[in-house]
């Protein structure tokens, strides 16, 4: 029986769940329902639950895989694991993903997951858009809900383009299917430039509807789209499209009402507890968590999950060495001294020289590295590492679960990212003074001595460097290197870096299919038009 895998429009609510009232209870929303759209979208109150259900999809386990958990997987597996600046220490069994060896394998689960996930969100957003105009309720609520669905769809297409299309500067005629309704038939690909046209159109309409509605999301509803989220998606889409004017414009609008993190927030809990810097995020709490499948069970340094205790995240030595000693952000990584490197890291060819201590050690026997780290960084660090964690050089203390094994909300967009989008766009628009001002605005919070007088190509290089530092580990790494068209260069310890030899690769922009995922065979097998284009 023929089926089209990316347009299965699974409605997100059941009749028994239409009385949701508590803000946390949206996470109990069912993923499928036998109810008809007419029933589900009978009222705007019901439609609000459907929107909440899409938010729930962003932190749900998929495809029977422990790690495929919505947005957390996109950030960790694809943005971080595969990038240039964050090593998942010792996780050599995942070299296929970490070294991007799946891009040209249409049967790979790694290649398939983003396709499955984002088209699933699109299908649900399309269901809302197809039915919301007939829902009973105030016009203001219909407008607001419709705007939210448009943002979900625009965001998902933006992410799909980053995976399955070439860089904008390489081939604007590459493409993916553009599904704008609830039909399930075969569908040809739309060129990348046409997909971006639709993304812009959706966001323009969403912004107009948010304004017309006169409504705002509640302060606690950081997990739902609002007008600032629409601006932020617009800014990132424009950045990827190299549309510098719109990137700068919408980044400024997105962050206008959001304060950048304070130094205390950034250094302590700003990446698992919502704050003003967050524009859009994913909700998680102890009574709603997906346990060892959750985001922080893969990146939280204080997590008791095996993926964190045995294989912590670490910054690359090359990037760490570029952070000034006057910058307090250096304190978020445990760096070995030169003496420790000299004593411990002579490459004997045993594959173990990248470790700071032996595999059997934990905090109690971590030796000079951890003890020196405590002395340098002050009190409170023991709570940032689980008691039996392995200690690796340059391991991170930035991402902290709020409860075990991996409880914690996390952001999708924040004002800090928007600042760097605006600065990068300003560089391309020859607005050097504005880019300099933004760099100082962000960096003086962490380094009082920071100033910037660079111009031209040197200024753009400075923006990229501090974007890598400030947004480290937040899921941008691989995506940034792809859009920049810059090679990933990971140096082994023997060559002066910090990467395990299994991961010490160089990946040029033209390699691995231009870093472009093939269309999955599970789509090709059921969509006979997939290799054709429409104008």
Whether 409 and 460 have beta carbons less than 8 Å apart is answered as no
Phi and psi for 191 in degrees, rounded to 5?
-55, 150
Residue by residue, DSSP assigns 171-187 as -TT-EEE---SS--S--
CA 14 to chain CA mean position, Å: 30
Task: Return the structure tokens found at 171.
Answer: 């081939």
The predicted model gives 252-259 an average pLDDT of: 98
User: So what's the pLDDT on residue 273?
Assistant: 96
Token match 């459907």: residue? 50
Q: How many CA atoms within 13 Å lie on the side-chain side of 410?
A: 29
Burial of 26 per CB tally in 10 Å (0-12, 13-18, 19+) = buried
Closest CA to 247 of 18, 388, 427: 427
Task: Report DSSP state, residue 518.
Answer: P
Biggest distance spanned by C-alpha atoms of the chain? 72
**SS3 of the chain: helix, strand, coil, percent, to 5:** 50, 5, 45
Provide DSSP, 431-448.
-HHHHHHHHHHHHTTT-T
DSSP letter string, 218-263: -TT-TTS--HHHHHHHHHHHHHHTT-HHHHHHHHHHHHTT-PPPPH
Q: Which two tokens stand for residue 163?
A: 């995976």
Average pLDDT over residues 388-396: 83
* Domain assignments of the chain as residue spans, ordered by start: 15-64+95-283+516-524, 291-408
- Opening angle at CA 369, ends 357 and 346, nearest 5: 55
Element of type H or E holding 130:
helix 109-131
- Name the token pair of 137: 């309720």
Each residue of 287-307: pLDDT tens digit?
888 888 899 999 999 999 999
Q: What is the mean pLDDT of residues 432-437?
A: 98
> What percentage of the chain carries pLDDT values higher than 90?
72
Contact (Cβ atoms closer than 8 angstroms) between residue 103 and residue 512: yes
Whole-number pLDDT of residue 334:
84
Residue 393's pLDDT band, with cuts at 50, 70 and 90, is confident
Q: Are 9 and 125 in contact (CB under 8 A)?
A: no
**258: pLDDT strictly greater than 50:** yes
CATH 1.25.40.390 holds for 15-64+95-283+516-524: yes
- Please choose, from the candidates 506, 472, 462, 503, the residue with its C-alpha nearest in 3D space to the C-alpha of residue 486: 506
Among candidate residues 477, 460, 478, the one with its CA nearest the CA of residue 468: 477
Q: What is the C-alpha to C-alpha distance for residues 391 and 385, in angstroms, rounded to an integer?
A: 9
Backbone angles phi, psi at 412, to 5 degrees: -105, -40
Q: Residue 535: which pLDDT band, with cuts at 50, 70 and 90? A: low
Q: Which residues, listed in sequence order, are joined to residue 489 by a DSSP beta bridge?
A: 506
Give me the pLDDT at residue 443, please: 98
**Could you tell me if 303 and 397 are in contact, meaning their C-beta atoms sit under 8 angstroms apart?**
no
- For residues 381 and 387, give the distance between their C-alpha atoms in angstroms, rounded to a whole number: 11
Least trusted range by pLDDT, from 213-217, 330-334, 371-375, 402-406: 371-375
Q: Residue 203 pLDDT > 70, yes or no?
A: yes
pLDDT at 18: 27
Give the model's confidence band at 338: pLDDT under 50 very low, under 70 low, under 90 confident, else very high.
low
């Amino acid at each position: 029986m023929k089926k089209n895998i990316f347009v299965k429009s699974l409605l997100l609510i059941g009749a028994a769940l239409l009385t949701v009232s508590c803000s946390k209870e949206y996470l109990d929303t069912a993923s499928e329902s036998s109810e008809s759209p007419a029933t589900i979208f009978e009222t705007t109150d019901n439609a609000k639950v459907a929107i909440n259900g899409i938010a729930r999809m962003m932190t749900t386990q998929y495809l029977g895989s422990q790690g495929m958990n919505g947005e957390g997987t996109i950030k960790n597996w694809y943005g971080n694991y595969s990038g240039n600046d964050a090593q998942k220490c010792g996780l050599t069994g995942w070299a296929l993903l970490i070294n991007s060896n799946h891009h040209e394998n249409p049967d790979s689960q790694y290649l398939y997951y983003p396709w499955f996930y984002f088209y699933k969100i699109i299908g649900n957003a399309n269901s809302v858009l197809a039915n919301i105009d007939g829902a009973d309720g105030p016009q203001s609520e219909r407008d607001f809900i419709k705007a939210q669905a448009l943002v979900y769809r625009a965001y998902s297409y933006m992410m799909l383009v980053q995976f399955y299309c070439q860089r904008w500067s390489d081939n604007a005629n590459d493409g993916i299917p553009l599904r704008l309704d609830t039909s399930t038939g075969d569908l040809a690909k739309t060129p990348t430039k046409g997909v971006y046209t639709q993304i812009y159109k959706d966001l323009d309409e969403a912004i107009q509807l948010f304004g017309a509605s006169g409504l705002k999301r509640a302060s606690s509803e950081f997990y739902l789209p609002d007008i600032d989220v629409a601006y932020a998606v617009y800014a990132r889409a424009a950045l990827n499209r190299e549309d510098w004017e719109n990137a700068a414009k919408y980044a400024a609008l997105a962050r206008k009402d959001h304060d950048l993190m304070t130094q205390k927030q950034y250094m302590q809990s700003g990446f698992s507890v919502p704050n003003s810097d967050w524009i859009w995020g994913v909700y998680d709490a102890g009574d709603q968590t997906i346990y060892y499948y959750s985001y922080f069970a893969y990146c939280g340094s204080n997590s008791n999950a095996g993926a964190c205790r045995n294989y912590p995240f670490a910054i690359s030595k090359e990037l760490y060495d570029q952070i000034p000693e006057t910058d307090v952000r250096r304190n978020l990584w445990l760096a070995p001294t030169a003496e420790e490197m000299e004593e411990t890291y002579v490459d004997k060819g045993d594959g173990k020289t990248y470790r700071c201590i032996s595999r059997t050690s934990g905090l109690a026997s971590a030796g000079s590295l951890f003890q020196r780290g405590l002395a340098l960084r002050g009190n409170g660090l023991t709570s940032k590492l689980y008691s039996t964690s392995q200690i690796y050089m340059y391991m991170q203390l930035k991402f902290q679960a709020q409860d075990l094994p991996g409880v914690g909300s996390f952001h999708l967009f924040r004002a800090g990212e928007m600042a760097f989008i605006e600065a990068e766009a300003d560089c391309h628009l020859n607005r050097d003074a504005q880019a300099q001002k933004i760099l100082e605005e962000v960096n003086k919070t962490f380094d009082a001595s920071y100033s910037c007088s660079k111009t031209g190509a040197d200024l753009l290089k400075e923006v990229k460097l501090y974007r890598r530092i400030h947004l480290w580990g937040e899921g941008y790494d691989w995506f940034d290197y792809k859009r920049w068209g810059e090679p990933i260069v990971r140096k082994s310890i023997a060559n002066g870096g910090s990467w395990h030899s299994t991961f010490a690769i160089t990946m040029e922009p033209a390699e691995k299919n231009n870093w472009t995922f093939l269309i999955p065979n599970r789509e090709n097998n059921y969509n006979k038009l997939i290799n054709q284009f429409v104008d």
